[in-house]
C-alpha cells in the first residue's frame, strides 16, 4: 500500500519541491498551504495519512498551533508529525516538540535525510495504527 504524506507549507515552491522528492520515492502526497486546511484534511483523511510534514511559520494559523490541534484531536492524535522549517534555533525545536511534533528537520534539507526520516515515521505510523486496532 502506498503511503500518503500530507505536506503543509505556505510557500508553493516548498510544497512542490518536497512533493517531488516524496513522489519520486513512491509516496502519494496531499498538499496544504495553511494550518487550517491541514487540520481539516488530517481529520477527513485520518485513516489514510501516514505522516504530516508541517511548516511552523505560516500566516493566519501557525504550524505550532496546528500540531497542537492535530495531536489533541482523538481522531488524529496518532498521526506522526515532522516539523519541517527554516527555524533551527533551540527554542523552536523545543516548542515544536512540546506542541506534539514527533520529529524536526530544518530547511534546506538533504532529500535523502528527509526520505529516511519519513520512512521511519511511516513504520511508526503503521505500527501505531495496527496497535490501535488491536487495542479496540
* CB-CB neighbours of 5 under 10 Å: 24
For 7-22, write each residue's pLDDT tens digit.
Answer: 999 999 999 999 999 9
How much is the average pLDDT of 43-68? 92
pLDDT at 39: 95
Q: Closest Cα partner for 100 from 56, 58, 136?
A: 56
Map residue 81 onto helix, strand or coil: strand
CATH superfamily, domain 4-135, is Response regulator (3.40.50.2300)
The domain segmentation of the chain, as residue ranges, is 4-135
Amino acid at each position: 500500500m502506498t503511503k500518503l504524506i500530507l505536506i503543509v507549507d505556505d510557500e508553493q515552491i516548498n510544497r512542490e519541491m518536497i512533493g517531488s522528492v516524496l513522489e519520486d520515492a513512491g509516496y502519494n502526497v496531499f498538499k496544504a498551504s495553511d494550518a487550517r486546511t491541514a487540520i481539516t484534511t488530517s481529520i477527513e483523511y485520518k485513516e489514510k495519512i501516514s505522516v504530516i510534514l508541517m511548516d511552523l511559520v505560516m500566516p493566519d494559523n501557525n504550524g505550532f498551533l496546528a500540531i497542537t490541534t492535530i495531536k489533541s484531536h482523538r481522531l488524529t492524535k496518532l498521526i506522526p508529525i515532522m516539523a519541517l522549517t527554516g527555524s533551527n534555533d533551540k527554542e523552536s525545536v523545543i516548542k515544536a516538540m512540546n506542541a506534539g511534533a514527533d520529529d524536526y528537520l530544518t530547511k534546506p534539507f538533504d532529500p535523502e535525510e528527509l526520505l529516511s526520516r519519513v520512512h521511519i515515521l511511516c513504520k511508526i505510523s503503521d505500527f501505531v495504527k495496527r496497535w490501535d486496532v488491536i487495542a479496540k
